[in-house]
Amino acid sequence: MTLPFLNEFHLTALSVNRNRNEIKLKRIFWIDLEMTGLDVEKEVILEVAAIITDLDFHELDHYSAIVKQPQHYLDNMDAWNKTHHGESGLLSLIPNGEPLEKVESDLLKLADTYFPSKEPVVLAGNSIATDRAFINRYLKEFSYRLHYRMIDVSSWKVIFLEKYGKKFKKTNQHRAVNDIKESLRELKYYLSYINPSAPVK
């Protein structure tokens, strides 16, 4: 079975990586999108932010942009999104946002700067599959640069909460840059409990 987000670029990477134990990850492309809702078939992207880090989570670069969208997408948002995007100040910025094509071009430049040509980009974030679905639909050229593997902080959240009773306290500001920085702090929190030299039981 072929996964829906795999394209020719991803399949080539899959073929190559079958002959390797793992990818040689040096940097991570953290990303967060704010949308009008979660249904990728009818909702659109309002804000995009990205932070490039090394494997020690030191920030190497960052990017953020507001995406200009037709008013009818904003008018048709549900009450939750209208409330949270209104309170965060995001809605008032949409009329002066950037065209989505410009945002995609900026993301490609960021990827090209920190990931060598032909090297797939590994995305990271919270519930990153949702962001990936919107990227695949609306930022197709950028999606071609992405590796099929992703780092989902929410996977750590589930294990640490349900198995160990450990919970990271979030502020839930619902702005893209802040959400990425919070995801970084959250992953650091979970990793602080891990001792790689400890014997496996």
Categorize the per-residue pLDDT at 5 as very low, low, confident or very high, splitting at 50, 70 and 90.
Answer: low
Binning pLDDT at 50, 70 and 90, where does residue 1 land? very low
147-199 pLDDT, tens digit per residue, is 999 999 999 999 999 999 999 998 877 789 999 999 999 999 999 999 888 88
What pLDDT sits at residue 24?
82
Which pTM was predicted? 0.87
With respect to residue 12, please indicate whether it lies within any of the assigned structural domains.
no
Is residue 198 in some structural domain? no
Distance CA 69, CA 64 (A): 16
Q: Does residue 196 lie within any of the structural domains?
A: no
Residue 143's Cβ-count burial label (10 Å; 0-12, 13-18, 19+) is: buried
Least confident of 15-19, 24-28, 52-56: 15-19
Residue 14 has pLDDT above 60, yes or no: no
Within-domain flag for 172: yes
- How far from 104 is each of 71, 78, 107, 181, 196, CA to CA, in Å? 21, 26, 5, 21, 38
pLDDT for residue 201: 76
pLDDT (0 to 100) of residue 19 = 43
Q: Is residue 13 part of a domain?
A: no
Tell me, what CATH number does 92's domain have? 3.30.420.10
Instruction: Classify residue 113: in a domain, yes or no.
Output: yes
pLDDT digits (tens, 9 = 90+) for 60-99: 999 999 999 999 999 999 999 999 999 999 999 999 999 9
Residue 17 above 60 pLDDT? no
Instruction: Indicate whether 73 belongs to any domain.
Output: yes
Q: What is the pLDDT of residue 2?
A: 46
34 has a pLDDT exceeding 60: yes
Q: Which residues are catalytic?
A: 174
Per-residue pLDDT band at 16 (split at 50, 70, 90): very low
Specify the number of domains making up the chain. Answer: 1
Residues spanned by the domain of 182: 26-191
Q: What is the pLDDT at residue 15?
A: 45
pLDDT digits (tens, 9 = 90+) for 96-153: 999 999 999 999 999 999 998 777 799 999 999 999 999 999 999 999 999 999 999 9
Residue 15 lies in a domain: no
